[in-house]
Structure 1
Amino acid sequence: MRRWKMAQINPPRPLALVVEEDKDQRDTLATLLEKHQMQVIQCESAEAACVVLSKMGIGISFLFTGVELAGLMDGASLAVRAKQRYPNITIVVTSSQRRPRDLPSEMTFIPKPWQAADILRRL
């Protein structure tokens, strides 16, 4: 009688959405998250991120956004909108300026320049 081995099934990796105007910072963070077993989607603007969220929202577990972004919507507004629609998503907002006044207190704000450990603690 022939025996078959079951193939190992790897669970899908968590999905992160990185929204940052600066391509180098986006790439750096994407590399960091990928090294920690996350899949990453990158966007330059909040408008592009809203499209991604509308298509994949419930599947995204981590949103990292800068405040200053290309386009009309800023990262703080994106964070608020994402949290309202997807309450279980973990959100980190960053800026070289002060914490935005309209950013709810339950959202994590990390000032730039951030360190990798600052981000990884929030995963």
Structure 2
Amino acid sequence: MGQGIEPYRVALIVEDDFEVRGLAAALLEETDLKVVEASSAEEALDYLNRHSEEVAFLFADLRLPCLMNGLDLARTVRLKWPWVRTVLTSGGPLDDEAGDVPRDVRFLPKPWRALEVLMEAERAASQSYRGH
């Protein structure tokens, strides 16, 4: 029997800034979740389309390169994979362009506090044990 990842055990970090993504990854590696990194919403969606059953937590920057921003990604994830706990973050204010954040998506301003991110990840990990 192959060695697979337990269902709903991945934290997907979506951040185009390499240093910030690395910091988030190092932080989330302290949890029970396996960390997967993406630099764009499109890259994250590609991963989700192939491995959505493994993802428990999405931590994404609001401002991302390419066509989709973090809010577009969050909306798509909430529609297609509603069990994925989603947190958006940004160095700027949550302005009009991001006005319609889905109600079950948390927003953490940058610089985020490590404890807040860890608490969200732990909630995702504990939810994943109960299934979606």
- TM-score, normalised to structure 2, is 0.80
Q: CA deviation at 1:102?
A: 2.0
**Which amino acid letter does the alignment assign opposite residue 74 of structure 2?**
A
TM superposition outliers: structure 1 runs of 4+ over 4 Å: none
Q: 1:18 aligns to what SS in structure 2?
A: strand
Aligned to 2:90: 95
Aligned to 1:35: 30
Aligned runs of 1:54-73 on 2, under 5 Å?
54-73=49-68
Higher RCO structure, 1 or 2 (CA under 8 Å, sep 6+) = 2
The partner residue of 1:120 within 112, 118, 121 is 118
**Which amino acid letter does the alignment assign opposite residue 44 of structure 1?**
S
Bigger helix share = 2
Q: 2:72 aligns to what SS in structure 1?
A: helix
Asked if 1:44 is matched to 2:39, the reply is yes
Report the Cα distance in structure 2 between the residues aligned to 1:104 and 1:91, rounded to whole angstroms: 10
Greater radius of gyration (CA)? 1
Is there any run of 5+ residues in structure 2 with no aligned partner, and where? Answer: 122-132
Is there any run of 5+ residues in structure 1 with no aligned partner, and where? Answer: 1-10
Report the Cα distance in structure 1 between the residues aligned to 2:66 and 2:88, rounded to whole angstroms: 17
Q: Deviations over 1:20-75 (max 9, x none)?
A: 01111111111111122221110110011110010001210000000111211100
Q: Deviations over 1:88-114 (max 9, x none)?
A: 110000011222202112210000110
Report the Cα distance in structure 1 between the residues aligned to 2:76 and 2:15, rounded to whole angstroms: 17
Aligned to 1:6: none
Q: Once the two structures are aligned, what percentage of the paired residues are identical?
A: 34
Aligned to 1:75: 70
CA RMSD for the aligned pairs?
1.5
Asked if 1:25 is matched to 2:23, the reply is no
